[in-house]
């Protein structure tokens, strides 16, 4: 979707996705405004220094827990990308109420403010951990998904459209295993939780591009899922530290062996395309738009899981991605 001439706001805009989204959009498009909404003034200051003065770039201090602040920030906004979340799995297992306040109640505030301020489109970022969740992070993102899908039913005369993008681990995002392995590599020992573990992987650029495409396609209430490669944690460790010793430390609280992007229970409502899936809503109101009429229903009982997925992220492509990140 071309955001030229639009007012766009990204919640959690100083995070890994938000920064890359800003780089991508400002280098290729001419939005009227691109508003970075986040609660950390230091990260905003760092981002301002990194990007330098830009006529379209704005910074707005605020927290998604504060609806009044969101109302002010959303005034005159055309498109909202909701990327704000607490997401560190072990931390949230020990701080569950904080996770609910940001990921669930904060999402509720985003929905209400978007409707009240007549935002045209809102797309929320979700995760494979929302499918059959076993940790609190996944459970809160599942709640957020349900809320954004249902929000279309009560946007009323405002006409605000809400959809969701669900994808896997972002390669080298802040707090992910890649930066951790990079720091551990200096010690000669990489600590792996479970050598059976597999994950879906997507680069930041791929995530940004898919979000922009989903914004263009969306008619409201869909969950868009990219087809992305999988990789075992052991393969990642061996590629990043071929000379390192591997130490197995056991799974952390709330970790799965494998992740799922489309559950079997969703298969009856899932359409497949060349490079993505769309989980269609089961609640009204919803109509197929022109894009979605070309999808093919998946087979009943279909499941898109990281251990059964093809293709895998081959070592050559992984090395290229890692070299780009380190550079």
Residues identified as active-site:
129
Q: What angle do CA 252, 198, 305 make, to 5 degrees?
A: 115
Q: Which residue, 290, 242, 237, 299, is CA-closest to 268?
A: 299
Which residue, chain included where needed, has tokens 């022109």?
290
The pair of structure tokens assigned to 164 is: 């969701």
How far are the Cα atoms of 66, 71, 79, 131 from residue 38, in angstroms, in the given order?
11, 14, 16, 27
Does residue 311 have a cis bond before it (omega within 30 degrees)?
yes
Is 286:218 a contact under the CB 8 Å cutoff? no
DSSP, collapsed to helix, strand or coil, labels residue 34 as: strand
Q: At 7, phi and psi to the nearest 5?
A: -100, 120
- How far apart CA 211 and CA 225 sit, in angstroms, is 10
Does residue 285 have a cis bond before it (omega within 30 degrees)?
yes
- How far apart CA 223 and CA 251 sit, in angstroms, is 29
């Amino acid at each position: 979707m071309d955001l030229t001439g639009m007012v766009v706001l990204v919640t959690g805009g100083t995070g890994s996705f938000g920064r890359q989204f800003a780089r991508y959009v400002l280098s290729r498009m001419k939005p009227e405004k691109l508003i970075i909404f986040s609660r950390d003034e230091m990260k905003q200051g760092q981002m301002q220094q990194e990007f330098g003065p830009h006529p379209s770039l704005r910074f707005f201090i605020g927290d998604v827990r504060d609806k009044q602040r969101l109302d002010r920030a959303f005034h005159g906004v055309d498109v909202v990308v909701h990327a704000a979340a607490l997401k560190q799995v072990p931390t949230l297992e020990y701080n569950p109420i904080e996770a609910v306040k940001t990921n669930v109640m904060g999402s509720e505030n985003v929905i209400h403010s978007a409707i009240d301020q007549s935002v045209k489109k809102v797309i929320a970022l979700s995760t494979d951990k929302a499918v059959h969740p076993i940790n609190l992070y996944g459970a809160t993102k599942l709640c957020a998904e349900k809320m954004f899908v249902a929000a279309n039913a009560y946007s009323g005369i405002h006409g605000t459209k809400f959809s969701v993008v669900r994808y896997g681990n972002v390669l080298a995002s802040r707090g992910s295993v890649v930066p951790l392995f990079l720091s551990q590599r200096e010690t000669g020992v990489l600590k792996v939780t479970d050598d059976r573990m597999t994950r879906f992987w997507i680069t930041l650029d791929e995530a940004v591009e898919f979000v922009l495409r989903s914004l263009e396609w969306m008619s409201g209430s869909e969950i868009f899922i990219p087809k992305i490669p999988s990789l075992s944690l052991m393969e990642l460790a061996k590629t990043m530290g071929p000379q390192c010793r591997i130490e197995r430390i056991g799974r952390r609280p709330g970790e799965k062996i494998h992740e799922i992007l489309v559950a079997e229970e969703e298969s009856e409502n899932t359409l497949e395309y060349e490079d993505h899936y769309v989980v269609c809503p089961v609640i009204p109101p919803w109509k197929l738009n022109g894009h979605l009429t070309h999808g093919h229903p998946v087979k009943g009982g279909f499941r898109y899981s990281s251990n059964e997925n093809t293709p895998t992220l081959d070592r050559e492509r992984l090395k290229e991605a890692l070299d780009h990140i380190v550079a």
